[in-house]
Amino acid sequence: MKNKILFIFPIFIFLCACSGNYTPKPRAYFYIDLPQPVYHSFEGCSRFTFDISNHAYVKEIRDSLGTKWFNIEYPHYNVGIYCSYFPIDKEKLAAQAEQSENLAYFHIIKANGIDEYEFNRPEKKVYGRVYEIKGNVASPVQFVLTDSVRSFFRGALYFDNSPNIDSISPVLAYINQDIHIILESFQWKQ
């Protein structure tokens, strides 16, 4: 009798478990806890200042050509804003702007589209352009700022892992907020 029950029980479970109402579940991603940032002032190479989040840190890099590089890194999210500063004159401004636009549009191969808009604060002599690149791209946000006379600043947001817009969208929105704070607080030093 005991053997019959052991034989019939798995068959009963199998028949009850197989119903025709199967619904596939969407792919799930881990919940990412995004704390409220507090902003503080950052002075970059004594030419400009802007506010950055307390959840980021700045890693400075200098090269032999006088170019000032630094990264604003978010180690908990595997993301960084790669920044560079170039001293320019009016003749070099067009070339730098074109090079930055080419770097942004390089992602068009994988992008679903690029939203481009101007950012101008004439009272602070800050003029720029922001590129928001849609889709599974390595750099979803890039921006340039200039005083149109002597200084050119470029920033590009990069994720350290393979991009999947569904999984990175909360972090992208969080860092995009920080980028807008950088843009709004950016000031050239005389």
User: For 51-96, how does the pLDDT look when each residue is reduced to its tens digit (9 = 90+)?
Assistant: 999 999 998 886 666 556 889 999 888 899 999 888 888 788 888 8
Pairing of strands 141-146, 126-134: antiparallel
Looking at per-residue pLDDT, the higher value among 166 and 158 belongs to: 158
Q: Residue 153 domain-assigned? A: yes
* Structural domain includes residue 112: yes
Distance CA 149, CA 147 (A): 5
CATH at residue 131: 3.40.1000
User: Looking at the domain assignment, is residue 128 inside a domain?
Assistant: yes
| Least reliable range by pLDDT among 3-7, 33-37, 82-86, 155-159 | 3-7
**Cα 68 to the center of its chain, rounded Å:** 20
Indicate the number of domains in the chain: 1
162 belongs to a structural domain: yes
Backbone angles phi, psi at 158, to 5 degrees: -130, 135
Comparing 24-28, 37-41, 74-78, which segment has the lowest mean pLDDT?
24-28
